[in-house]
């Protein structure tokens, strides 16, 4: 049994930890936007949007502090999976393994409501995913209504056409993040025949239209040497890629456990990223590697939360468990979820593991925290 004195001490310690962590995270975000601004100085249209977002980041940080003082943990990042539908069927896809239902998606007005409420409480930027977010092209029109916020849109890229390019040119606050697994053999082997060639075509369109774009690379045992090689990075950098996101594969399906990179490979990944940060005028981030440098797992509101296609507020895309839904609860109130708070209070349980996402590895423990 916990005494009142112990409860008080835990609250005090939690407060100091949160204060220190928030300061470090906010500083990291400021550095990110400063670096992004420097990288795009030769692209005035894009630089303007990053400058605007950097200014919003400062205001948003103050807004989050305001709500923190009133007991509401507002993370700077909102991961928003706006659909479970997809035009591909990739091997090892966590979304298809965890979220097969395509029914009961949030309406366009509900999507808009989430963005509006997020801005009001100081969310700095969105990560849009799916499924494939561009099966709902109206999301781009919604993004256009919120020019202060940067939206990183994770997409396989195959639905990008001239009409969407025109919108991207006009509204530089959307950053396409193209999923790629390496060269043709690795990409087509996981995503389907012809995907790599189509990606080359899309990348060429983005480059010619001077669109700031990123790549998301899922790192596995088999593609590690390719995607972390200087040749691969140089090829993409020469094609105008300004942001490289390396995501370690998390084995949602048990028969893919052997895809997970080794501890030695993780060390080499971070070493190579440090080298590329000095060599190329691009941003490089590794997950979960860079999370560990700023305090470990950022889920459950420490750094981000996840909203599913049906409105469920979850700690992370890899943890499909929830006790709140923004369909019937304002986002600010949903963020006061007891479930999310319990995960944050037990953060020491989420030290990164050899198997990728700690929340997924310890999912049985996570489920015990549900009210």
135 within 8 A of 110, measured Cβ to Cβ: no
3-state secondary structure of 64: helix
Tell me what pLDDT residue 25 has: 61
* Entry pTM: 0.87
Q: List CB contacts of 225: < 8 A, sequence separation 6 or more.
A: none
Judge residue 20's burial from the number of C-beta atoms within 10 Å of its C-beta, 0-12 exposed, 13-18 middle, 19 or more buried.
Answer: exposed
96 within 8 A of 89, measured Cβ to Cβ: yes
Rounded distance, CA 127 to CA 139, Å?
Answer: 12
Tell me what pLDDT residue 254 has: 72
Minimum mean pLDDT range among 48-57, 171-180, 273-282, 338-347: 48-57
Rounded distance, CA 283 to CA 311, Å?
Answer: 31
Chain segment 53-69, per-residue pLDDT in tens: 888 888 999 999 999 99
Strands (E), the chain: 77-81, 125-129, 150-155, 174-180, 214-219, 243-248, 283-287, 304-307, 313-314
Q: What is the DSSP string of 141-207?
A: HHHTT-TTSEEEEEE-STT--HHHHHHHHH-TTEEEEEEE-SSHHHHHHHH-TTHHHHHHHHHHHHH
The angle at the Cα of 185, spanning 181 to 186, to the nearest 5 degrees, equals: 25
In this prediction, residues 301-315 reach a mean pLDDT of 94
3-state secondary structure of 246: strand
Confidence label for 91 from pLDDT (cuts 50, 70 and 90): confident
Residue 318 DSSP class: T
305 within 8 A of 315, measured Cβ to Cβ: yes
Whole-angstrom CA distances from 249 to 6, 66, 126, 227 are: 39, 36, 22, 13
Confidence label for 287 from pLDDT (cuts 50, 70 and 90): confident
Q: Can you tell me which residue has the tokens 């936007």?
A: 33
Q: Parse the chain into domains and list their residue ranges.
A: 4-368
Rounded distance, CA 129 to CA 96, Å?
Answer: 13
Class of domain 4-368: alpha beta
Chain segment 317-339, per-residue pLDDT in tens: 888 899 999 999 999 999 999 99
Confidence label for 141 from pLDDT (cuts 50, 70 and 90): very high
- Where is mean pLDDT largest: 9-18, 24-33, 45-54? 45-54
> Biggest alpha carbon distance in the chain?
65
Q: How many CB atoms within 10 Å of residue 1?
A: 3
């Amino acid at each position: 049994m916990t005494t009142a004195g112990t409860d008080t001490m835990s609250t005090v310690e939690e407060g100091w930890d949160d204060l220190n962590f928030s300061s470090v995270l906010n500083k990291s975000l400021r550095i990110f936007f400063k670096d992004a601004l420097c990288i795009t100085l030769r692209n005035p249209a894009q630089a303007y949007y990053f400058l605007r977002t950097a200014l919003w980041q400062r205001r948003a940080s103050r807004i989050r502090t305001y709500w923190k003082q009133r007991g509401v943990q507002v993370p700077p990042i909102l991961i928003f999976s706006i659909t479970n539908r997809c035009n591909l069927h990739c091997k090892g896809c966590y979304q298809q393994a965890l979220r097969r239902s395509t029914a009961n998606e949030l309406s366009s007005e509900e999507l808009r409501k989430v963005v509006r409420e997020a801005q009001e409480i100081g969310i700095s930027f969105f990560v849009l995913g799916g499924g494939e977010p561009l099966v709902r092209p109206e999301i781009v029109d919604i993004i256009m209504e919120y020019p202060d916020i940067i939206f990183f849109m994770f997409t396989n890229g195959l639905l990008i056409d001239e009409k969407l390019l025109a919108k991207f040119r006009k509204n530089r606050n959307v950053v396409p993040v193209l999923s790629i697994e390496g060269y043709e053999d690795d990409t087509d082997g996981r995503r389907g025949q012809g995907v790599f060639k189509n990606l080359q075509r899309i990348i060429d369109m983005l480059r010619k239209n001077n669109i700031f774009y990123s790549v998301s690379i899922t790192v596995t045992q088999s593609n590690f040497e390719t995607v972390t090689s200087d040749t691969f990075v140089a090829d993409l950098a020469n094609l105008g890629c300004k942001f490289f996101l390396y995501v370690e594969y998390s084995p949602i399906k048990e028969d893919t456990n052997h895809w997970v990179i080794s501890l030695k490979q993780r060390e080499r990944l971070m070493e190579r990223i440090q080298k590329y940060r000095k060599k190329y005028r691009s941003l490089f981030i590794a997950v979960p590697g860079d999370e560990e440098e700023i305090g470990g797992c950022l889920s459950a509101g420490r750094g981000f939360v996840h909203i599913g296609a049906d409105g469920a507020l979850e700690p992370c895309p890899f943890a499909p468990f929830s006790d709140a839904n923004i369909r019937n609860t304002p986002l600010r109130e949903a963020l006061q979820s007891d479930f999310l708070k319990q995960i944050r209070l037990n953060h020491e349980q989420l030290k990164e593991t050899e198997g990728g996402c700690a929340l997924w590895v310890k999912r049985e423990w996570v489920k015990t925290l549900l009210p």
